[in-house]
Amino acid sequence: MGGDVVSGTVGAPQAGGRARILQVARAAFVERGYAAVSMQELADAAGLTKAAIYYHFRDKQELFEAVVIAEMERIHQGLAEQIALGPPLRSQLERIVAFALGVDRGDRLRLIEDAHRYCARAQMAALRKQIATPFTLLRDAFAAARARGEIGECNLDLVLALFVSMVEGQIKGSDIGVVIDLPPDDLARALVGVLMDGIAAPPGTPGA
């Protein structure tokens, strides 16, 4: 994965600093994709010099990795907040889905997809740890629910993979021509209902 690299001595950063650069870079990477964004464009958008950006980041690759890591930290914090509001599991999952289907849901997906597409193998190995961290919280929530007797004995990794796939399917829905036109909270209840209750008819239902 390429990127401009500046050599020589770089002076102190201009006002705004790292946080401003990350904010501008995230917006640019989401809107146009990693490959189409230049460091000069980011400097102009941030109102900084390229030297100020290179003070914080060695090249575009390092900046992009920092953006992805910051995004994963935001997701981790958001999931932790929803889980910390407490059980039952159904309520926790509904809150998590509503959070995941928020306004910038496609933004996160674009960043992660570009990370897989453009990051070198060594860098991707480190990023995968960041990407996987939020899923550890989810697995722990399922495990706690099983311990409380809210769900039966099951393969937690399989259940986690199923839940994540269901959520990602809704995020990608417009790309594959499947759009469920429901507000996020209603869609969250419907999705979690399928996971928790299944699709089989209740016992005693004709044809069940």
Which single residue is written with the structure tokens 């594959």? 176
Where b means 16+ CB within 10 Å and e means fewer, 182-192 reads eebeebbbebb
Q: Is domain 61-196 annotated with CATH 1.10.357.10? A: yes
Question: pLDDT tens digits for 69-92?
Answer: 888 888 888 889 999 999 999 999
CA distance 27 to 156: 35
The per-residue pLDDT string of the chain (208 residues; one tens digit each, 9 = 90 and over) reads: 545 444 334 444 544 589 999 999 999 999 999 999 999 999 999 999 999 999 999 999 999 989 988 888 888 888 899 999 999 999 999 999 988 887 666 687 788 888 888 877 667 777 777 767 778 889 999 999 999 999 999 999 999 999 988 888 777 765 555 667 788 888 899 989 989 988 777 776 665 5
Question: pLDDT tens digits for 146-177?
Answer: 999 999 999 999 999 999 888 887 777 655 55
CA distance 136 to 156: 11
Task: Locate the domains of the chain by residue range.
Answer: 17-57, 61-196
Q: Is domain 17-57 annotated with CATH 1.10.10.60? A: yes
CA distance 10 to 6: 9
Give 160's DSSP letter: H
Which single residue is written with the structure tokens 């030297």? 51
Q: How many CB atoms lie within 10 A of CB 22?
A: 19
Structure tokens at 204: 């005693």
Q: How many CB atoms lie within 10 A of CB 175?
A: 10
Torsion sign, CA atoms 58, 60, 62, 66: positive
